[in-house]
């Protein structure tokens, strides 16, 4: 049951919305090798750290970090702030999905879902002045999703929602299997899916592709956000931790790669029917999924009136469960330190979150969303993971973790894993990080650089303030 919950928390918008887009914008085949390497080097290796630590300490991230050293509190708030900021744009993608539930009832996107998404849904513009123009429909759906999240957390309906998703997740998988099978029969499908499986060896030296691969593994497996840690803390004694981690990581990546075979087949079909070059098929990259799936529903005939809405409803639930998982940790940590009632904390967190989300509902919203997404995963969380590698690999007694993991597992870890966490991974991350920062600085436009600068300042100042504020809970540092 717990393993299903863990797979459930990993499978979400990351697999259906984010992966195809990252794969598409990094050239398909050139992305796959870095992605597979990252799955092992970063994904599985780091999930193991989180499992071992969560299983051993059985408490919140802040308190785990205190147990290692008292000075680490800002690190915990830094991570929680990233998680919160991810939630602010995650809401918007779930909001787009909500719009598509309604649209799919009548296939209201018409014959050109790409233009429809950019012009009618997002009403996107390229000019910065678009930041002053709120798009009413997106605004309303973002508000609705925040309201739902608030309602669920406040009323403690998480279990109920969890049960609904447990039913809907398998349904989602079945629909995806159906869509992939159908897509493969479309004319031109092979133009698309061969892109994924034709490796471009020359791209291996492109560090931006590697950075994107790391970012995708981080988002998709919810790494570094203390999510796996929380789950592992519930695992019963005698659990096979390593086996568990490997199964979760493989199922998650298997699902997204499988899903993208469908996505790329549909793109191949679009390339054939429109005669457009493959890399110019989709105008707003952040919305790739909302272009490609409507496209396939258009070719499916009347069954699409059932499959379409069902598909978007499943995504809605997958999205809301992930959203709750993101917000829970933030609310929990705030109410734990400041002894504020859970409900009040939830209300405050949701209001602040909603206010931030408003920028994603403007006419440049999807562009800003892309900047948030890339910055928070490829830079901020990557940095957090570097810190966690150093904290658990160097400051904490690492051999204890190996023992915990190996206790009952049939797959054992040892020296190789230790070398990866202590040396290889930190060096790779540091290298990629520095290179990524430099290449971003040299290519970036004004809007993106302003947003990144603001995010950087917020990510430095706010965690320090939260750590400095005195705890009202007398046992907080025990």
Least distance CB 223 / ligand PHE (angstroms): 9
Element (H, E) at 405: helix 398-406
- Contacts with ligand PHE: how many residues (CB under 6 A)? 13
Residues within window 386-425 making contact with ligand PHE, judged by CB under 6 A: none
Nearer to ligand PHE, 7 or 271 (CB): 7
Least distance CB 106 / ligand PHE (angstroms): 28
Cβ-in-10-Å burial (0-12, 13-18, 19+) of 111 comes to exposed
Element (H, E) at 403: helix 398-406
Residues in the chain: 478
Nearer to ligand PHE, 9 or 286 (CB): 9
Q: Which of 6, 7, 8, 15 binds ligand PHE (CB under 6 A)?
A: 15
Give the range of 11-19, 196-204, 378-386, 468-476 binding ligand PHE by CB under 6 A: 11-19
Least distance CB 407 / ligand PHE (angstroms): 27
Nearer to ligand PHE, 95 or 130 (CB): 95
Q: Which residue is nearest to ligand PHE, using beta carbons?
A: 14
Identify whether the C-beta of residue 161 lies closer than 8 Å to the C-beta of residue 317.
yes
Cβ-in-10-Å burial (0-12, 13-18, 19+) of 454 comes to exposed
Q: Which of 6, 7, 8, 14 binds ligand PHE (CB under 6 A)?
A: 14
Which of 368, 448, 439 minimizes the C-alpha distance to 209? 439
Q: Which of 10, 363, 364, 382 binds ligand PHE (CB under 6 A)?
A: 10
Least distance CB 105 / ligand PHE (angstroms): 25
| HSE-up of residue 434 (Cα within 13 Å, Cβ side) | 5
Nearer to ligand PHE, 22 or 227 (CB): 227
Q: Which residue has the tokens 């309906």?
A: 157
- Which residues sit opposite 134 in a β-bridge? 362
Least distance CB 346 / ligand PHE (angstroms): 17
Nearer to ligand PHE, 223 or 270 (CB): 223
Identify whether the C-beta of residue 473 lies closer than 8 Å to the C-beta of residue 337.
yes
Nearer to ligand PHE, 14 or 20 (CB): 14
Nearer to ligand PHE, 97 or 114 (CB): 97
Least distance CB 324 / ligand PHE (angstroms): 9
Identify whether the C-beta of residue 477 lies closer than 8 Å to the C-beta of residue 70.
yes
Residues within window 216-275 making contact with ligand PHE, judged by CB under 6 A: 220, 222, 225, 227
- Three-state DSSP class for 410? coil
DSSP letter assigned to residue 281: S
Contact call for residue 9 and ligand PHE (CB under 6 A): yes
- Three-state DSSP class for 134? strand
Residues within window 303-322 making contact with ligand PHE, judged by CB under 6 A: 322
Least distance CB 261 / ligand PHE (angstroms): 18
Which of 147, 143, 103 minimizes the C-alpha distance to 121? 103
Which of 36, 457, 414 minimizes the C-alpha distance to 250? 36
Residue window 322-341: x/- pattern of binding to ligand PHE, with contact defined by CB under 6 A: x--xx---------------
- Backbone phi and psi for residue 362, each to the nearest 5 degrees, phi listed first: -90, 175
Residues within window 164-223 making contact with ligand PHE, judged by CB under 6 A: 220, 222
Least distance CB 286 / ligand PHE (angstroms): 14
Give the range of 13-21, 135-143, 152-160, 289-297 binding ligand PHE by CB under 6 A: 13-21
Least distance CB 252 / ligand PHE (angstroms): 7
Q: Which of 8, 12, 287, 393 binds ligand PHE (CB under 6 A)?
A: 12
Least distance CB 369 / ligand PHE (angstroms): 15
Q: Which of 7, 13, 315, 455 binds ligand PHE (CB under 6 A)?
A: 13
Nearer to ligand PHE, 253 or 362 (CB): 253
Distance CA 168, CA 12 (A): 12
Distances from the Cα of 188 to the Cαs of 21, 267, 272, in angstroms? 19, 8, 6
Distances from the Cα of 407 to the Cαs of 239, 243, 389, in angstroms? 9, 12, 22
Which of 32, 390, 383, 456 minimizes the C-alpha distance to 212? 32
Least distance CB 136 / ligand PHE (angstroms): 27
Q: What are the tokens at 70? A: 């008292």
In degrees, rounded to 5, the angle at the alpha carbon of residue 154 between the alpha carbons of residues 151 and 156 is: 100
Identify whether the C-beta of residue 442 lies closer than 8 Å to the C-beta of residue 63.
no
In the complex, the residues that contact ligand PHE under the rule CB under 6 A are: 9-10, 12-15, 220, 222, 225, 227, 322, 325-326
């Amino acid at each position: 049951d717990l393993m299903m919950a863990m797979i459930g928390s990993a499978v979400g918008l990351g697999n259906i919305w984010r992966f195809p887009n990252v794969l598409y914008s990094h050239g398909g085949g050139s992305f796959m090798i870095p992605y597979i390497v990252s799955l092992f080097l970063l994904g599985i290796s780091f999930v193991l750290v989180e499992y071992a630590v969560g299983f051993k300490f059985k408490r919140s991230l802040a308190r785990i970090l205190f147990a290692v050293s008292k000075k680490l509190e800002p690190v915990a708030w830094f991570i929680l702030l990233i998680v919160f900021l991810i939630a602010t744009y995650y809401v918007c993608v779930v909001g787009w999905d909500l719009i598509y539930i309604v649209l799919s009832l009548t296939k209201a996107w018409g014959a050109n879902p790409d233009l429809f998404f950019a012009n009618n849904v997002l009403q996107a513009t390229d000019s910065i002045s678009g930041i002053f123009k709120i798009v009413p429909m997106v605004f309303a759906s973002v508000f609705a999703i925040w309201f739902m999240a608030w309602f669920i957390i406040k009323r403690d309906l998480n279990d109920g929602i969890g049960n609904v998703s447990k039913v809907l997740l398998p349904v989602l998988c079945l629909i995806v299997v159906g869509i992939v099978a159908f897509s493969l029969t479309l004319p031109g499908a092979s133009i698309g899916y061969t892109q994924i499986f034709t490796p471009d060896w020359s791209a291996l030296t492109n560090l931006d592709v590697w950075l994107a691969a790391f970012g995708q593994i981080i988002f998709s497996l919810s790494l570094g956000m203390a999510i796996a840690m929380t789950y592992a803390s519930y695992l019963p004694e005698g659990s096979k931790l390593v086996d568990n981690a490997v199964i979760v990581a493989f199922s998650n990546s298997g699902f997204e790669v499988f899903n993208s075979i469908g996505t790329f087949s549909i793109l191949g079909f679009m390339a054939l029917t429109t005669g457009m070059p493959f890399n110019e098929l989709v105008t707003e990259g952040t919305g790739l999924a909302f272009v490609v799936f409507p496209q396939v529903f258009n070719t499916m005939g009347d069954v699409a009136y059932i499959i379409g809405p069902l598909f978007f409803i499943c995504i809605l639930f997958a999205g809301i469960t992930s959203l709750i998982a993101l917000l829970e940790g933030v609310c929990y940590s705030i109410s734990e330190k400041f002894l504020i009632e859970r409900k009040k904390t939830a209300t405050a967190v949701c209001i602040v979150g909603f206010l931030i989300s408003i920028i994603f509902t403007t006419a440049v919203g999807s562009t800003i969303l892309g900047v948030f997404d890339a910055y928070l995963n490829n830079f901020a969380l990557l940095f957090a993971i570097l810190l966690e590698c150093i904290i658990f690999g160097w400051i904490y007694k690492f051999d204890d973790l190996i023992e915990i993991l190996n206790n009952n597992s049939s797959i054992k870890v040892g020296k190789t894993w230790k070398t990866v966490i202590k040396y290889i991974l930190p060096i790779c991350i540091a290298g990629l990080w520095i290179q990524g920062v430099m290449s971003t600085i040299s290519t970036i436009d004004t809007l993106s650089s302003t947003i990144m600068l603001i995010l950087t300042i917020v990510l430095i100042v706010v965690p320090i303030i939260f750590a400095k504020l005195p705890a009202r809970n007398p046992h907080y540092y025990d």
